[in-house]
Structure 1
Amino acid sequence: MSGHSKWSTIKRKKGALDAKRGKIFTKLIKEIMVAARMGGGDIDGNPRLRSAVNAAKTENMPKENIERAIKKGSGELGDAIYDEILYEGYGPGGVAVLVETMTDNKNRTVADVRHFFAKNNGNLGENGCVGWMFDKRGVITVEAVAGLGEEQLIELALEAGAEDVVTEEDSFLIYTTPEDFNAVVEQLEKSKIKMSEASILMVPKNTIEVTEEKTASNLLRLLESLEDHDDVQKVHANFDIPDEIMEKLS
């Protein structure tokens, strides 16, 4: 689980989430549209759409943007067709990387993804080459703030159906099964607990420690290049970088 935790912490410290708010909204809108196209525009009857809307609310997306994306996806405002493609490969140091994409041009996307891997000493692999190293989990991040009791949060999350709650330096990570994810998110919302992130992610079963500075630098550059691409929705990797190496790269 520390693989996801490390990457999320790095992004927060680098300010990437705030600096790329527009790109985050674009990716969330795509997910809402595809979810609505595949399962209909009824949030209560479409679990994937409900998850996408919850993620958008966590990022403070305006309500009208969410409603418009649902209407576009369900065909009320015209069709917008995206293909979902999962790419798998190895980054520097043998780190396993999963890349979730939504694209209207498969040739463009695969060429760009392959280029990013090659440029940063990695290689794009065949389907299934690394996917077995990850488990699909709901991951909810709650920032540690004054007035939020650790025991109270853990009890609330577990009662709502969470599998585990991990305490970190400045936040709590709540893990759920994909099936229980929405119930936990909704319970946290009812309890007025603010979530800084809430998504269904691929969490690594084990992590690879990257202790060489150049390798770590190439790996982070690969992950950032992939996440910055308009067709890429999410990037998952099974790495851990020691704090002393991160300090040198910051």
Structure 2
Amino acid sequence: MSGHSKWSTIKNKKGKADAARGKVFTKIGRELAVAVKLGGPDPASNSRLRDVIAKAKANNMPNDNITRSIKKASGELGNINYEELTYEGYGIGGAAVIVETMTDNKNRTVGEVRHAFDKFGGSLGTNGSVSFMFDKKGVIVIDTEAGDEDTVMEAALEAGAEDFSAEDGAYEITTAPEDFSAVREALEGQGYEFLSAEIDMVPQTMTSLSEEQRKQFEKMLDMLEDNDDVQNVYHNADLPDEE
């Protein structure tokens, strides 16, 4: 189903991606800052930082920007404390939603997240209210031009991947969260480049919405993703591909 596919989600955002590229880089810069603060500025000894750098490269963030963000985080940003907070709730039609944030002002963030839910027919719930409907997985997406399916699948499975699928121009590789870094680094070491590489919340089942509900739900997603404090939004709404 389209909603299960990380590649489908990426394609749905591609039209908006160029206009929002600066915002994406800002959010990744914040992730780099938190990773540096938690584990230091050296990627060799900081696996979380290595993972964020891989995400940055998959989003075409220039190396200069990545280096500058790391240097800035280890110096000037030493006095800024971002708190990682996750919110859960239901969108219109009962679709489950998880919102991951990094914020220096918890009251501002929860107010803005709640407003997005309320404005478009949803409701913010308590922690644990929907997360049981998702599995935490590492998800790596590779363009099919990187190699034939058997070769890429063999490389992924040998590296420790849990699952492999091919659809519509992309290979999707799934790992256990604790194996994500090792699998990603093994594939990087073989020269593979990624369309996406990050820890994801994968829905166990999808929720169907009417056309009108989908419009409302997508407006809510846009409002959440436009928020500077929001890093990731996961949901189980079955949204159609937008070509």
How many residue pairs are counted as aligned between the two chains? 241
Q: CA deviation at 1:238?
A: 1.1
Structure 1: unaligned runs, 5 residues or longer: none
TM-score (norm 2): 0.91
Aligned to 2:38: 38
- Cα gap change, 1:228/1:4 in structure 2, threshold over 3 Å: closer, same or farther? farther
CA distance in 2, matches of 1:36, 1:144: 33
Unaligned runs of 5+ in 2: none
Residue 7 (structure 1) shift = 2.9
1:186 match: secondary structure: helix
* SS of the residue 1:175 aligns to: strand
Say if 1:137 and 1:68 are closer, same or farther in 2 by CA, change over 3 A: same
Structure 1 residue 192, shift from structure 2 partner: 2.5
Query: Equivalent residues in 2 for 1:47-196 (5 A)?
Result: 47-75=47-75, 78-145=78-145, 148-196=147-195
User: Residues 37 and 78 of structure 2 are in contact (CA less than 8 Å); yes or no, is this contact kept in structure 1?
Assistant: no
2:11 aligned with 1:9: yes
Alignment of 1:15-26 (within 5 A): 15-26=15-26
Q: CA separation in 2, counterparts of 1:184 and 1:17?
A: 27
- Separation in 1, partners of 2:212, 2:115: 19
Alpha-carbon contact 1:72-1:79 (below 8 Å) kept: no
Per-residue CA deviation, residues 75-102 of structure 1 (Å, 9 max, x unaligned), is: 4664322111101110011011000001
Amino acid across the alignment from 1:168: E
Please report how far the alpha carbon of residue 4 of structure 1 lies from its aligned counterpart in structure 2 after TM superposition. Answer: 4.7
Task: Give 4+ residue runs of structure 1 displaced > 4 Å after superposition.
Answer: none
Deviation of 1:191 after TM superposition, in Å, equals: 2.5
Distance 1:59 1:124 in 2: 29
User: What is the RMSD of the two structures over their aligned residues, measured on CA atoms?
Assistant: 2.0
Cα 1:59–1:182 change in 2 (3 A) is same
Partner of 1:220: 218
Partner residue in 2 for 1:236: 234
Say if 2:33 and 2:77, in contact at 8 Å, map to a contact too: no
